[in-house]
């Protein structure tokens, strides 16, 4: 078995009116190539992160691009020594990134794309308001210097946050995160997909100048040398790597298996951290039934380690927490 796994992350907003019919043959092809991960299909497009042997991942990408609607599908690559995923899922969704505003359609209008090599100049402009569209736990381990953090529990909360901002236009407002429709706004997210929706939403609300980082943080970390970087910290990714830095190399965070949020060494040193059961963020949020389920899962993990076997897991245990960046 290979000791190197290729991970490919990709999405495309494109009308797929027959998306339900695509599911079964796509799942079968991925499984035939020993590729694992999650692919989301919706009328508005496709969103995915998959991993496996290089030949298999490239075969899946070629398979997708054989559909004329996906012929220009772009993807980002990274490598790891451990398998990032343990199952292959192809899911049918209402949206490939959940915002909950049906009238927003990135196939019709989005903000202006900014190449990673041009991003520093844009966000260094004092007249530009930079907004991180990711979830709180993602922002907490890394973001761009000076970016506004809306403290989102989920991406679907972004429209409400935006509409709650005072509609004033002055330099002090820009510094405090208050915006009006004349404000120049630059937005970013992990791979770019959430920004497609968020900039489309701003455009639908009449904002004049809206920009977003093409390819997201991952493309920036892949492209911009560390010595030129304005990125601070690490970038959370929705797979077993947990976080990556420049060059998309896996970094120092682990994952709490209870809440699926990143944990540092300090978190693991906390009395509230119990392997597989809790961390300082979630130690007082679980029901007795959840705790019992987590205890059983950890017991199975421990047994698998003793047998020197990979732990695949109980489907129910991971079903609700295997997700892509759009899911929150």
What HEC string does the chain produce? CCCCEEEEEEEEECCCCCHHHHHHHHHHHHHHCCCEEEEEEECCEEEEEEEECHHHHHHHHHHHHCCHHHCCCCEEEEEECCCCCCCEEEEECCCCCCCCCCCCCCCCCCCEEECHHHHHHHHCCCCEEEEECCEHHHHCCEEECCCECCCECCHHHHHHHHHCCCCCCCHHHHHHCCCCCCCEEEEECCCCHHHHHHHHHHHHCCCCCEEEECCHHHHHHHHCCHHHCCEEECEECCCCCCEECHHHCECCCEECCCCCCEECHHHHCCCCCECCCECCCCCCCCCHHHHHHHHHHHHHHHHHHHCCCCCCCCHHHHHCCCCCHHHC
- Among 30, 189, 235, 256, which one carries the catalytic annotation? 189
What HEC string does 73-89 produce? CCEEEEEECCCCCCCEE
CA–CA separation, 194 and 12 (whole Å): 12
Number of neighbouring beta carbons within 10 Å of residue 307 = 9
- 189 in active site: yes
Closest to 30 measured CA to CA, from 101, 106, 85: 85
Residues with Cβ within 8 Å of residue 238, at least 6 apart in sequence: 49, 190, 323, 324, 325, 327
Catalytic residue annotation:
189
């Amino acid at each position: 078995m290979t000791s190197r796994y290729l991970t490919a992350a990709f999405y495309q907003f494109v009308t797929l009116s027959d998306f339900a019919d695509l599911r079964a043959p796509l799942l079968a092809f991925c499984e035939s190539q020993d590729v694992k991960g999650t692919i989301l299909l919706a009328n508005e497009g496709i969103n995915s992160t998959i991993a496996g042997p290089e030949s298999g991942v490239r075969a899946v990408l070629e398979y997708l691009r054989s559909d004329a609607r996906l012929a220009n599908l772009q993807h980002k690559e990274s490598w790891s020594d451990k398998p990032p995923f343990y199952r292959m899922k192809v899911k049918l969704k209402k949206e490939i990134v959940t915002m909950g505003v049906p009238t927003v359609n990135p196939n019709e209008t989005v903000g202006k794309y900014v190449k990673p090599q041009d991003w520093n100049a844009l966000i260094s402009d004092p007249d530009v308001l930079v907004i991180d569209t990711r979830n709180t736990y993602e922002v907490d381990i890394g973001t761009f210097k000076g970016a506004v953090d809306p403290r989102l529990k989920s991406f679907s909360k972004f429209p409400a946050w935006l509409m709650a901002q005072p509609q004033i236009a002055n330099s002090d407002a820009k510094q405090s995160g208050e915006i009006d429709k004349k404000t120049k706004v630059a937005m970013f997210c992990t791979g770019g997909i959430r920004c497609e929706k968020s900039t489309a939403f701003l455009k639908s609300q009449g904002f004049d100048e809206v920009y977003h980082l093409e390819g997201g943080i991952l493309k920036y970390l892949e492209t911009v040398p560390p010595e030129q970087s304005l990125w601070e910290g690490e970038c959370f990714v929705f797979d077993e790597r947990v976080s990556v830095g420049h060059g998309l190399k896996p970094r120092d965070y682990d994952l709490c298996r209870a809440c699926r949020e990143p944990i540092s060494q300090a978190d693991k040193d906390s009395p509230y951290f119990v392997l597989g059961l809790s961390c300082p963020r979630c130690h007082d949020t679980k029901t007795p039934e959840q705790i019992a389920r987590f205890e059983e899962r950890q017991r199975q993990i421990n047994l698998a380690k003793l047998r020197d076997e990979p732990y695949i897991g109980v489907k129910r245990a991971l079903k609700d927490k295997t997700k892509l960046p759009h899911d929150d």
